[in-house]
Structures are given as C-alpha cells and as structure tokens.
C-alpha cells in the first residue's frame, strides 16, 4: 500500500468548509478510482496548516491519476478555501510506502 501526502494551508476560519468540500466532493471522486484504499484531511483549526493523505493499493494508482490531471481537478474544488494558489504552488506532494494499517 502507498500513501500520497499533500501539505496544505487553509484560510483562517475555513477548515470546516474545507472538510465539507473534502467529504462531499473530493472523497467520493477518489473512492470511485481503481486502487483507492482510503483518505483523510488533517487540519489545525487555528493555523489552517494541514495535509491530505490518500491511500492507494499501488504507487502507480496515484501516479496514473496525476498524469491524467485528476488531482488538479480535485484540488481546484478547494480554491476558495486554500490560503495560497491551489495547484501546485502551495503543495509539497509525496508518495510513501505504508508498512502497516489496521
């Protein structure tokens, strides 16, 4: 299993809206993709600093969607709540192997 980690920064007071966008828009779109194993949005309500972590069966599942522009489309959903331009300037993206999950 592999995890895609995206560092994000959310505007002050917009963390609840970012969670809503994630849960009602981005997450269903992710769940429909082959190899998807789970995802979460992590955020500090006070600072807006956070991350989106997406679990994939294989690293290639994540890379395929990057090449197809899928992530760019999903990140655009957050344009109104991110504290910096949504893609790719604000993000540091990494794909890591995952050693163990419940």
Q: What element of type H or E holds 53? A: strand 49-56
Exposed/middle/buried for residue 79 (C-beta within 10 Å: 0-12, 13-18, 19+): exposed
Map out the domains of the chain as residue ranges. Answer: 2-97
Quick: pLDDT tens for 14-72.
999 999 999 999 999 999 999 999 999 999 999 998 889 999 999 899 889 988 999 88
Task: Show Cβ contacts of residue 49 under 8 Å, excluding neighbours closer than 6 positions.
Answer: 7, 8, 9, 10, 43
Task: Show Cβ contacts of residue 81 under 8 Å, excluding neighbours closer than 6 positions.
Answer: 10, 11, 14, 17, 18, 21
- Say whether domain 2-97 belongs to CATH 3.30.70.100: yes
Q: What pTM, to 2 d.p., does this model score?
A: 0.84
Averaging pLDDT over each range in 6-15, 24-33, 82-91, which range is the top one? 24-33
């Amino acid at each position: 299993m592999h995890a895609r980690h995206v560092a994000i920064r959310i505007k002050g007071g917009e963390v609840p809206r970012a969670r809503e966008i994630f849960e009602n828009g981005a997450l269903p779109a992710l769940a429909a993709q082959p190899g998807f194993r789970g995802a979460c949005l992590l955020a500090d309500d006070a600072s807006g600093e956070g991350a989106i972590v997406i679990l994939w069966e294989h690293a290639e599942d994540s890379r395929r969607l990057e090449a197809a522009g899928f992530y760019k489309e999903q990140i655009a959903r957050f344009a109104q709540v991110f504290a910096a331009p949504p893609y790719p300037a604000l993000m540091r993206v990494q794909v890591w192997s995952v050693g163990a999950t419940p």
